[in-house]
Amino acid sequence: MNEFDWILPWLSHELALLLHAGFLKGAPLLWAALGGAFSERSGIVNIGLEGMMLTGAFCAVAVSGLTGNPWWGLAAGAAGGGLAGGLHAGVCLRGRADQIVSGMGINLIAMGLTGFLLFQIFEARGNSPEVPKLPAITAAPFTVPGLNELLFPLSMLHVALAGVWLVTLMVFYRTRFGLRLRACGEDPRVAAAAGVRVNAYRYPAVILSGALAGLGGVQLSLSDISQFSTGMTNGRGFVALAILICSGWRPGRAAAICLFFGCAEALAERLQGAWPALPSRLLLAFPFLLALLVLSCGRQTMRAPQALGKDLG
Amino acid sequence: MRSSYLAYQPRAYPALRARGICKSFGAVQANHQVDLTLRYGRIHALVGENGAGKSTLVSICAGLLAPDSGTLEIDGQTVRLRDPRDAIRRGVGLVQQHFSLIPAFTVLENILLGQEIHWGPWLQRRRAEKEVQAWLKSYGLELPWRTRVGGLPVGIQQQVEIAKVLYRQARILLFDEPTAALVSSEIDQFLETLIRLRDQGIAVLLITHRLPEVERVADTVTVLRKGQVVYHQLMNRTSLDSLATALVGESLPEEQYERPWPGAPLFECRGLLLDLPARKAPERVPIDLYVLQREIVGVAGVAGNGQEEWIDAMLGIRPPAGGKILYQEQDITSWSVARRRGAGIAYIPQDRRGRALLPQFSFAENYLLNLAAFTSGRSFRLPRQQARAVAADCAARYLIQTPSLDAPAGQLSGGHQQRLVVSREFLANPGLIIAHDPTRGLDIRAARFVRERLIQQCRQGAGMILFSSEWSELFRLCHRIAVLYRGGIVETRPAEEWTVQELGLAMAGAL
Amino acid sequence: MKRLSSLILAMGMALLLLSLFLWINGYPPARVFMALITSAWGSPTGLILLGTKATLLILTGLAVALPYRAGLFNIGGEGQLSMGALAAVALGVQPWNALGPLHGVLCVAAGCLGGALWGGLAAGLKSRRGIHEVITTIMLNFIAFQVVNELTLGVLNAGPGSSRTAMIAGSARFPLLYTQGAAQLTAGILVSIGLAAGLSGMLYRTWFGFHLRAVGENPTAAAYAGIAVPRIHQRAMWVGGGCAGLAGALQVTGIDYTLYARFGGGYGFDGIAVAFLGLGEPWATIPAALLIATLRAGDRALQLDWNVPREMVFLLEGLLILCIALFTRMRSHE
């Protein structure tokens, strides 16, 4: 009996570390997924989440470097993503362009713009210099044994994420705005007939999706580390899109799937650390393989907002 | 809380009065000098064949269309309705055949959308439930407020639609073919709802072509034919027979067609079970229908009773739920679409732009869609020259007006597009023709032309299944007429043995 | 003609926006563009580089354009190219000199097959699981990238500390068309041009091409006419993937003679711009590729003389795609 006394505390310790790492890894995904939820639930496909994340990551680093204040950087990250979202909204809603093409175009523009401005502002190619980053929270006023290693270290942005997630859930399902927004994504003709001004909901939804994705980028560049590298989002925006589809476009479920993805990645890293013989680079492909796997298993496309991506009347 | 509107019913004026309404769509005059009066506490029936102008009139009354001339008065005030929201503000609510509901939302959400009960930004679900429940109780509407509309039977969905307009304080309710998609038990429930609405003082307009319903609930009836009012009477002073006569009219059909003499057996659906959802077809009734060479079999039925599924099964697009299809003494049930088309099954769809044409492709290239007519041998070269020659030949023989052989097919007018489709389908001398409303949307000359070609092809040996919603066309062209109802055939008789009333009753499932 | 004028309008708009951006950042737009053009077109070495880039860009443009005509948006050119390169280099490093020129042919064929299979994977997921091809091709891009990395730095590696595979055997090398000093132009450019012309002919003069275009134009009408739509989708992705795979094979056997890790190069994404500039016409990928190749070939001069980062090309491509989507009828499917 005594020999196995160490198993339970060891297990809970490892589990806590895993969940913590999973949460940290899944956080940027959740920011982008929440952003995607707003846009797509209003009926506008947004595959430009990747570019919006990248824009947010860059703007945050740029402004933080220029002003020396990471909080301005945070604001700039959200604003930059929001601008990109605004571009997508304008091109799709006003210009009636194809939504998928617009998203791809924004991704390319973001790749080009961030690389270009990286050189302009920092005279660097590839990696920016280190800039002031958001302060981390390493301890709480209260100490709960076991909970500490689960939660800390954290950044303010992570706390904000939890709040934003809750707010998103409430907005979607308990407010007038959310009801009308979802109606725009299900059947804009019915919504219009009921007196809802559809574009008045779609524009803010897409801009917000850009801002949230931008905050996901800030999470990448300014909270765990403190610099920007070209292409640092590395496909996370697309994985977030896949997660959104898997979750049936529901923010509640999306959070769980993001955590799952994060934990899976963290677990894979641990295993790789324990057995170096495993091909490490295939590990980097792991989130994408997982996304394909999860997409193949579900029939979530059936639950898409009915009017998603449909040609705007 | 809203107070009952009974308090402020202006009895001096009728609820709605339309005077001299005229509306044309291009060459087609949908309404000509139509008068209609609706009174509070009365059910008024509007009856007519397909294309008689009923839907147009109702769309005008509900603000969906503007009339070319004529006036509309609501409660004695002349109004010009800009859009449906304007109409609802004045108390006119429209319930159409295709509901404007969001399947993913609950009953309550659908009713409240756009006029939510809220406190600041927050929805107040419990308060809303109580208020709406109380408001609708007087109409006898008890609905499952928290259930998603998508999962509800059609009859309940319709009640949600009615609740929507009542919640917005409509006092004049217009129903466009409300019982078309309902099961008989739901129909009874619906008619009872109508009576309750009337007893609460609502003015009801009921568009239907099902005369038994008119007999059951209507107080007054108006009959439209070819856009004009031909009959108007109180229900207690008329009879079903007079109505039926007024519907069809005494005019003889303009042209007679000499029907070819049928020959050997050609095509058969044996025990065919259509793949319909349960609420559309509660009991699976197998289809047994045969077609002889040179025979034209008509299929009458209200849209939505399985025509699409049956056609898809015959063409091979969607497999049936059971049964066999035989063609030229072979079992083709498992054949692919290409194989069936190659064996000589031609298709003239109702939606030619969506199903039979490539609008951006040239006139000549569209002929290539009749794959069987051009693929002889294993050549992989596209026979462009041959297609042009064929297209030019068809344009001459079928009098198709196109600026050039290279003009996009989508630019042709409806009648000429149909000529393209028909001439293409007849290229390889088909054995079986499946035609669905082939003269829909065509002017008289074009319709006559198409019918003549159809008969001509049958004279040359083809058999035809003609799905049509136009009774006169069925009577003129067909040897036998079958009625499709809820995915099964009610009855098949030689054309001479059908009367219009019986046909109407059969289509309503009441024969 | 209306389409051409909309296209020119879109191109003009994109160039205008880029010029504005350059000017704001202190670069003289006109001189930057002149530097690009003269660098690419002004000297024999420049022309060779231009031709080399164009060879690959035509193919990745075809990889997008062909499926587009069938109604699919294939943005997996990057991954399909990588897998094609991987297949080609795997065979290329084998010491099969005895086969002679057959060795090279096998490598190129393997490249086409690799790309085609990678594209077919996305098509299969679409037809069996209903997942949109945009998502699957993007995921496959990232997966391919890591697979290539893994094998290039692992099994096929040239040696410790090297970031590329071993050099391919001499018999596997694709013939050269022209050399000028150190610069060389592969004969692969003839293959690319020939394929563009060939696919154009296929599209308009064969039954398969007709079926493909019909499915892209109106899949419902095609189905009712007897065309098997899922099968056409599958084949379109094979052709598209095969073109991208061929590009990868040519990169390995005709240009680099090896495969570098972190081999992205962006040719796949450039292919989207090429296809859009060509409005989805296979033969039009040739002039479109020359345009984009000018940007790619000249960017070295840009960096050296003007210090303009090479990401400018991505910016221009994004602007081009947006403007074309706004001003012409180009959608993500026909």
- Considering only A146-160, A263-277, B46-60, B78-92, which range has the smallest mean pLDDT? A146-160
* Strand-pair partners of C260: C164
pLDDT of C184: 85
pLDDT of C182: 80
Question: Tens digits of per-residue pLDDT, B182-229?
Answer: 767 788 889 999 999 999 889 999 998 777 788 889 999 998 888 888
Q: Are residues B363 and B496 in the same domain?
A: no
Cα separation, A172 vs A41, whole angstroms: 9
Picking from B215, B248, B281, the residue at the C-terminal end of a domain is B248
Which positions in chain B have a beta carbon within 8 angstroms of at least one beta carbon in chain C?
315, 317, 336-342, 347, 349, 354-361, 365, 368-372, 375, 379-382, 384
CB pairs under 8 A between A and B: 51
Q: Are residues B210 and B106 in the same domain?
A: yes
- Domain count for chain A: 1
- Tell me which of A108, A121, A127 to substitute to probe the interface with C (most C C-beta atoms closer than 10 Å): A108
Q: Is residue B194 part of a domain?
A: yes
pLDDT of A18: 87
CATH number for the domain including B193?
3.40.50.300
Beta carbons of A179 and B113 less than 8 Å apart: yes
We find that the CATH architecture of domain C43-309 is: Orthogonal Bundle (1.10)
Chain A residues with CB under 8 Å of B122 CB are 174-176
How many C-beta atoms lie closer than 10 Å to residue A164's C-beta? 18
- Domain count for chain B: 3
Where is mean pLDDT largest: A136-150, B163-177, B243-257? B163-177
**Residue ranges of domains in chain C:** 43-309
Where is mean pLDDT largest: B4-18, B206-220, B244-258, C1-15? C1-15
Chain C interface includes A272 (CB < 8 A): no
Chains in contact with A, where contact requires at least 3 CB pairs less than 8 Å apart: B, C
pLDDT of C264: 61
Beta carbons of B368 and C210 less than 8 Å apart: yes
Write out the residue range of the structural domain in which residue B494 sits.
252-344+430-511
Nearest to C225 among B341, B365, B379 (CB): B341
Beta carbons of B358 and C214 less than 8 Å apart: yes
Question: Tens digits of per-residue pLDDT, B275-306?
Answer: 887 666 667 788 999 999 999 999 998 777 88
Q: Which residue of C has its CA nearest to B381?
A: C206
* Closest listed residue to residue A106, CA positions, set C321, C279, C11: C321
Question: Tens digits of per-residue pLDDT, C97-118?
Answer: 888 888 989 999 999 999 999 9
Q: Are residues B362 and B384 in the same domain?
A: yes
Beta carbons of B101 and A180 less than 8 Å apart: no
Q: Are residues B364 and B457 in the same domain?
A: no
The ipTM assigned to this model is 0.90
Beta carbons of A174 and B123 less than 8 Å apart: yes
What DSSP designation does A229 have?
A: B
Per-residue pLDDT band for B2 (boundaries 50, 70, 90) equals very low
Residue given tokens 């939510």 in the structure block: B116
- Is the per-residue pLDDT at A173 higher than 90? yes
pLDDT of B380: 84
Chain A interface includes C124 (CB < 8 A): no
- Is the per-residue pLDDT at C152 higher than 90? no
Q: Who contacts B338 (Cβ-Cβ below 8 Å, separation ≥6)? A: B371, C226, C227, C228
Q: Is residue B442 part of a domain?
A: yes
Q: Which residue of A has its CA nearest to C140?
A: A288
pLDDT of A187: 92
SS3 B43: strand
Q: Are residues B257 and B164 in the same domain?
A: no
Chain A residues with CB under 8 Å of B163 CB are none
Percent of chain B at pLDDT exceeding 70: 93
Q: Which residue of B has its CA nearest to C207?
A: B382
- Is the per-residue pLDDT at C256 higher than 90? no
Q: Which residue of A has its CA nearest to C155?
A: A279
- Tell me which of C218, C227, C331 to substitute to probe the interface with B (most B C-beta atoms closer than 10 Å): C218
Q: Are residues B262 and B242 in the same domain?
A: no
Beta carbons of C209 and B382 less than 8 Å apart: yes
Chain A residues with CB under 8 Å of B84 CB are 193
Question: Tens digits of per-residue pLDDT, B66-98?
Answer: 899 999 999 888 888 888 888 988 999 999 878
- Considering only A245-254, B23-32, B84-93, C71-80, which range has the smallest mean pLDDT? B23-32
Q: Is residue B210 part of a domain?
A: yes
More confident residue, C205 or A298: C205
pLDDT of B227: 83
CATH number for the domain including A184?
1.10.3470
Q: Are residues B257 and B244 in the same domain?
A: no
Distance from CA of C233 to the nearest CA of B (A): 17
pLDDT of B275: 82
Q: Is residue A1 part of a domain?
A: no
Picking from B395, B412, B429, the residue at the C-terminal end of a domain is B429
Q: Which residue of A has its CA nearest to B111?
A: A194
Beta carbons of B355 and C217 less than 8 Å apart: no
HEC states along chain C?
CHHHHHHHHHHHHHHHHHHHHHHHCCCCHHHHHHHHHHHHHCCHHHHHHHHHHHHHHHHHHHHHHHHHHCCCCCCCHHHHHHHHHHHHHHHHCCCCHHHCHHHHHHHHHHHHHHHHHHHHHHHHHHHHHCCCHHHHHHHHHHHHHHHHHHHHHCCCECCCCCCEECCCCHHHCCCEEEEECCEEEECHHHHHHHHHHHHHHHHHHEHHHHHHHHHHHCHHHHHHHCCCHHHHHHHHHHHHHHHHHHHHHHHHHHHHCCCECCCCCCHHHHHHHHHHHCCCCCCCHHHHHHHHHHHHHHHHHHHHHHCCCCCHHHHHHHHHHHHHHHHCCCCCCC
- Tell me which of A42, A169, A173, A179 to substitute to probe the interface with B (most B C-beta atoms closer than 10 Å): A179
- Is the per-residue pLDDT at B4 higher than 60? no
Nearest to A281 among C136, C140, C146 (CB): C146
Q: Which residue of A has its CA nearest to B101?
A: A190
pTM of the model: 0.88
Q: Is residue B10 part of a domain?
A: no
Chain C residues with CB under 8 Å of A110 CB are 318
- Is the per-residue pLDDT at A146 higher than 80? no
Nearest to C206 among B360, B371, B381 (CB): B381
Beta carbons of A187 and B100 less than 8 Å apart: yes
- Tell me which of A170, A172, A175, A176 to substitute to probe the interface with B (most B C-beta atoms closer than 10 Å): A176
Picking from B377, B405, B429, the residue at the C-terminal end of a domain is B429
Beta carbons of C138 and A238 less than 8 Å apart: yes
pLDDT of A302: 60
Question: Tens digits of per-residue pLDDT, B459-510?
Answer: 998 999 999 877 778 888 899 999 988 888 888 999 888 887 788 778 777 6
Write out the residue range of the structural domain in which residue A174 sits.
27-135+154-303
Per-residue pLDDT band for B177 (boundaries 50, 70, 90) equals confident
- Is the per-residue pLDDT at C253 higher than 50? yes
Q: Are residues B135 and B19 in the same domain?
A: yes
Q: Which residue of A has its CA nearest to C329?
A: A97
pLDDT of B476: 85
Q: 3-state SS of chain B: helix, strand, coil percent to 5?
A: 35, 25, 40
For range C42-55, the mean pLDDT: 90
* Closest listed residue to residue B224, CA positions, set B44, B16, B40: B44
Average pLDDT, chain B: 86
Chain B interface includes C225 (CB < 8 A): yes
Q: Are residues B64 and B192 in the same domain?
A: yes
Beta carbons of C224 and B360 less than 8 Å apart: no
For range B360-376, the mean pLDDT: 90
Interface of C with B in 227-286 (CB under 8 A): 227-228
CB pairs under 8 A between A and C: 139
